[in-house]
Amino acid sequence: MISNSSPFLWYRRERDEATKHTKSEKREIFFFRVVRDFRGHKMGMGMSTLFAYPEPAKFGRMLPKSKIYEYASTSTAVKNLFVRQVKQIVWQFKLAPETVNLKGTPSVPEIQIFSIALKGGELKTEALRCIDLAISFPIIFELQFDGKVKSIAAFKRPSEADAGKWVISEYFVSDWVKELTTENTEINKQNPSVPSVYSVVQRKPLPLVRDLGQLYEKILDGLMPYPARLGEDLQTRVERMERIRLKQHELERCEVRLRKEKQFNRKVAINAELRELKQELEGLIS
């Protein structure tokens, strides 16, 4: 039986949607949806973005929301996000030279691991950005809700214009997964015929690297939707990911215009625009 989250059902839905348009529109719209959505659908499937952090790096301290408000310029709207969406924040691990036996770098002297228990299944990135602004180190967040966990992080680097400030990219996120534990392993043994909507993954050991900068890059690598190009450094890759995201949004807006357009001549012009966007997107992804 195929589940509702199956790629096969996704494929059928997109194929059926494409049949609402003319033959020439079908090829363009369906191709773009396959490239965009199927890559997004499979991102994170089959691999774990959760790491088993070493015990000497355990910090395990609650982080009061008031401390975040104190060290970051927090608007009333963002404070309301914390109240509505965040149950608890724990500073779980501190990856530093003295805790993981890896030397720091100027841009990555330490890496902090925060777990955030949510009241619902959503957390706006404005709240994460507020924490990132309050803590002067790169941070990897693990969101927790209803027995599931997902990793999310932005690429964070010192500002070249102001050494006291940090530049924070857009956020990269994994799928929700169920962490493999003794408890849910036993549940699965007792109910082998009950399929799980979420992947069950086991935390993997930290990769072998020479310093914290490389470790940070390896952790972020699992959250990136597209692979690195040969010789591409992390900052360049992140900038390319952001251009891809903007180009995808531009493409989506163009698709909406095409669906709404009634005049044939305008449809032809929009289709030409879509083809150009496709080529630009392919150039960024490849």
State the DSSP string of 97-144: HHHHS-B--SS-S-EEEEEEEESSS---HHHHHHHHHHSSS-EEEEEE
pLDDT in the model for residue 185: 46
C-beta of residue 273 within 8 angstroms of C-beta of residue 261:
no
Q: Dig out the tokens for 228 from the structure.
A: 């690195």
Helices (H), the chain: 7-18, 23-33, 39-42, 65-71, 76-85, 97-100, 125-134, 182-190, 212-221, 234-260, 264-285
Burial of 277 (0-12, 13-18, 19+ CB in 10 A): buried
Per-residue pLDDT of the chain (286 residues; tens, 9 = 90+): 434 443 444 434 544 554 455 544 544 554 454 444 434 433 333 346 899 999 999 999 999 999 998 888 889 999 999 999 999 999 999 999 999 999 999 999 999 999 999 999 899 999 999 999 999 999 999 999 999 999 999 999 998 888 788 999 999 999 999 877 655 444 444 554 444 455 677 899 999 999 999 999 999 999 999 999 999 999 999 999 999 999 999 999 999 999 999 999 999 999 999 999 999 999 999 8
What does the alpha-carbon distance between residue 125 and residue 149 come to, in Å, rounded to a whole number? 16
What does the alpha-carbon distance between residue 187 and residue 137 come to, in Å, rounded to a whole number? 38
pLDDT in the model for residue 195: 45
Can you tell me whether residue 226 is helix, strand or coil? Answer: coil
C-beta of residue 193 within 8 angstroms of C-beta of residue 171:
no
pLDDT in the model for residue 176: 92
For residue 49, the surrounding DSSP H or E stretch is none
